[in-house]
Homo-oligomer: A and B are copies of this chain.
Amino acid sequence: MSTARFLPDRVETAAELAPRLGVSEDWIVSRTGVLRRHVSSESMARMGARAAEQALGDGPRPDLIINASGVPHQVLPDSSVFISKELGFSGLPSFSIHATCLSFPVAVHNAASLIQAGAYRRILVVSSELATRGRNFDEPESAALFGDGAGAAVLEPTPEGEPSAILGFEMATWPSGAELTEVRGGGTRQHPQDPTTVPWHNLFHMNGPAAYKMALRRAPGPLSRLFARCKVRPEEVQVVVPHQASGPGVAAATRFGFRAEAVVNRVSEEGNCVAASIPMALAYASEQGRLRRGDLVLLCGTGAGLSVLALLMRW
């Protein structure tokens, strides 16, 4: 799997953001752990294409594009079409997978199954988020979290004799947590033309403490099922790529028995980039030379839903 990430040039620091939220820089840093985030003036499709171009490199064009983002470019067509357009492709199949902040590992799992079934041989998965566009400045605790960015990966069949494989995948969704993290507008529930739709419906809303508490309660089940099924112990995992939900969210990953140095943490530099966080952190680990053939790599996290997911790979 070849990976890449794209971050827009413009950086917004906690000090710059603080007065817009009516809080102090210290308040932001101590609550969220986010020192700075990147802010894009380009579309999510353009950012996604920039990450995809790097992941594709000089190789042949993909035979399938999967957009794996949480927030779309527009309702219809789905965002994969606009990413394909930005890449200059025409006539390729493309579609979107949406599993909130966990869209990327769900798409990787699907892509691997499609490759195993012989349907495709080179699949591009792209996650791109303009999360700063959906910030609610009346809700500082969530607004201080988000950043923009994109991540991409190219999946191909494992070459003969190499160990790379998906070892296990576990996901569970508890709809009782659906309102803990949401953007209620944009669809038919609170249609933009519906007179009962108010501005906050169209922005990120998060009950941070309740979501954090529920995530901590629910995460152990799927994680321990995964490790039991794969006959792997958490401390054996060389690289853990959690969703970069928040400083406390990533810190909580160490509760599950992972080695602290295995956990990739980009929250302070990039914030929560929704579905782009996992592939961006994975690409960062790759750039740092932390992904070695044969290593155990775990993608994991909790997302809106409330969902918990863990995908264990032999790199």
Interface residues, chain A, with chain B CB atoms under 8 Å away: 43-44, 70-82, 84-85, 89-100, 103, 106, 109-110, 112-114, 116-117, 119, 130, 133-134, 169-176, 178, 181-193, 197, 199, 201-204, 221, 303-305, 307, 309
Q: How far is the CA of A171 from the CA of B63 in the complex (A)?
A: 10
Name A76's contact: one of B71, B114, B170 (CB within 8 Å): B71
Q: How many copies does the complex hold?
A: 2
| A169 and chain B: residue at smallest CB distance | B119
Whether A43 and B189, one on each chain, are in contact in the complex, defined by CB atoms closer than 8 angstroms, is yes
Can you list 23 A-B contacts with CB-CB less than 8 angstroms, sorted by A residue number? A74-B182, A74-B183, A75-B185, A76-B100, A76-B183, A76-B304, A77-B100, A77-B181, A77-B182, A91-B172, A91-B221, A94-B99, A94-B307, A95-B171, A96-B99, A110-B110, A110-B113, A130-B188, A133-B191, A134-B188, A186-B192, A191-B202, A192-B202
* Given A112-B117, A185-B75, A189-B43, residue A82 in contact with residue B169 (CB < 8 A): no
Whether B44 and A188, one on each chain, are in contact in the complex, defined by CB atoms closer than 8 angstroms, is yes
Whether B71 and A75, one on each chain, are in contact in the complex, defined by CB atoms closer than 8 angstroms, is yes
Whether A81 and B178, one on each chain, are in contact in the complex, defined by CB atoms closer than 8 angstroms, is yes
| A109 and chain B: residue at smallest CB distance | B119
Q: How far is the CA of A176 from the CA of B221 in the complex (A)?
A: 46
Whether B75 and A181, one on each chain, are in contact in the complex, defined by CB atoms closer than 8 angstroms, is no
| A87 and chain B: residue at smallest CB distance | B175
Name A77's contact: one of B82, B92, B191, B304 (CB within 8 Å): B304
* Given A114-B113, A119-B113, residue A89 in contact with residue B175 (CB < 8 A): yes
**Chain B residue contacts of A72, Cβ below 8 A:** 75, 98, 186-188
**Chain B residue contacts of A197, Cβ below 8 A:** 192
Name A82's contact: one of B90, B96, B113, B178 (CB within 8 Å): B178
**Chain B residue contacts of A81, Cβ below 8 A:** 173, 175, 178, 304-305, 307
**Chain B residue contacts of A85, Cβ below 8 A:** 175-176, 178
The smallest beta-carbon distance between A80 and chain B, in angstroms, is: 7
| A110 and chain B: residue at smallest CB distance | B110
Whether B181 and A192, one on each chain, are in contact in the complex, defined by CB atoms closer than 8 angstroms, is no
**Chain B residue contacts of A97, Cβ below 8 A:** 95-98
Whether B71 and A187, one on each chain, are in contact in the complex, defined by CB atoms closer than 8 angstroms, is yes
**Chain B residue contacts of A73, Cβ below 8 A:** 187-189
The smallest beta-carbon distance between A175 and chain B, in angstroms, is: 3
Whether B98 and A96, one on each chain, are in contact in the complex, defined by CB atoms closer than 8 angstroms, is yes
**Chain B residue contacts of A307, Cβ below 8 A:** 77, 81, 93-94
**Chain B residue contacts of A93, Cβ below 8 A:** 170-173, 307, 309
Beyond contacts A76-B183, A84-B173, A116-B117: 13 other A-B pairs, Cβ-Cβ < 8 A, are A72-B75, A76-B204, A78-B100, A82-B178, A93-B171, A93-B307, A95-B98, A96-B97, A112-B117, A113-B116, A119-B169, A134-B188, A186-B187
